[in-house]
Structure 1
Amino acid sequence: MSDTDVVALLRNHGIHPTAQRVLIARVLFTYCTHLSAEDVYRLVNADNRRVSKATVYNTLGLLADKGVVREVIADPTRIFYDPNTAPHHHFFDVATGELTDISAEQIHVSGLPPLPNGAQLEGVDVIVRMRAAK
């Protein structure tokens, strides 16, 4: 993704495109995989840049709040940021920490309880935790 594409994406989501935000978003969409905040911090600063951890964490939170990326909490110790915002689910390998996509059409959820009054369904996220068989 070019900087021009990233700037347009951020503006389309109501985000002011600072240099750091453009860099962080470009990393997410260049790698196009599930990255933790620490992964993003490491990649953003790989070329001796000086983007603070606070800026990375705050920007990732903003990108998630505005719908540019999805937060996926597969492991209680870290949040993954997913540039694929289309409905889908995930496999999580608990041994390796790898997160991979499952097409939304491959999982069917039924029997959800009624929502509380005044609530509307926003989505259902399924995380299938697994490890290699012994």
Structure 2
Amino acid sequence: MQQYTRDNMAELLRSHSINPTHQRIEIAFALFSRQEHLSADQIMSLVNTRFSETSKATVYNTLNLFVEKKLVREVIVDPSKVFYDPNTQEHHHIYNVVSGELTDIDVSAISIGSLPNLPEGLVTEGIDVIVRVRPQNILS
């Protein structure tokens, strides 16, 4: 497993054509050093424990840039809950609707038999499967 430092975060950002500002490095470090699925609020909290200077707008703008440059994946588990995933390899997710925990599923663990015919001129860019779970003793 790769060891992430603030120094190699700058290199990682540059490799994705992102200018490595102080705040972008801190946001990337919060994501990659933990290797967890984090919300923007969780990332802001982590970044601001070290430096309390990063605004919510900066975090969201930076995360949107990271998604645009394919540095992280955006995982939308419901309209009000978005996670940012530093694992950009093809994979799927299990989302616990009670605990809010999001975990990876290896792509080989799910088989998709077929896809609908696409309109002319369109191709499939990717498939994201989110399996929503809850403890058996808790009714939805």
TM-score tier (shorter)? over 0.9
Q: How many residues align?
A: 134
Q: What's the CA shift string for 1:83-113, capped at 9, x where partnerless?
A: 0000000000001111000000000112210
Q: 1:82 aligns with which of 82, 85, 90?
A: 85
Instruction: Find out whether 1:129 has 2:128 as its counterpart.
Output: no
Q: 1:104 aligns with which of 93, 96, 107?
A: 107
How far apart are the structure 2 equivalents of 1:82 and 1:117?
31
Q: 1:24 aligns with which of 14, 23, 27?
A: 27
Moved over 4 A (4+): none
Output the aligned Cα RMSD.
0.9
Note the 1:2-21 alignment, pairs <5 A.
2-21=5-24
In the alignment, structure 2 segments of 5+ residues that lack a partner are none
Q: What's the CA shift string for 1:14-53, capped at 9, x where partnerless?
A: 1111110001001100111000000001111013421111
Once the two structures are overlaid, the 10-residue window that deviates more, 44-53 or 95-104, is 44-53
State whether residues 74 and 82 of structure 2, in contact with CA within 8 Å, keep that contact through their aligned partners in structure 1: yes
State whether residues 5 and 33 of structure 2, in contact with CA within 8 Å, keep that contact through their aligned partners in structure 1: no
Once the two structures are overlaid, the 10-residue window that deviates more, 63-72 or 2-11, is 2-11
In the alignment, structure 1 segments of 5+ residues that lack a partner are none
TM-score, normalised on structure 1? 0.96
Instruction: Find out whether 1:52 has 2:81 as its counterpart.
Output: no
TM-score, normalised on structure 2? 0.92
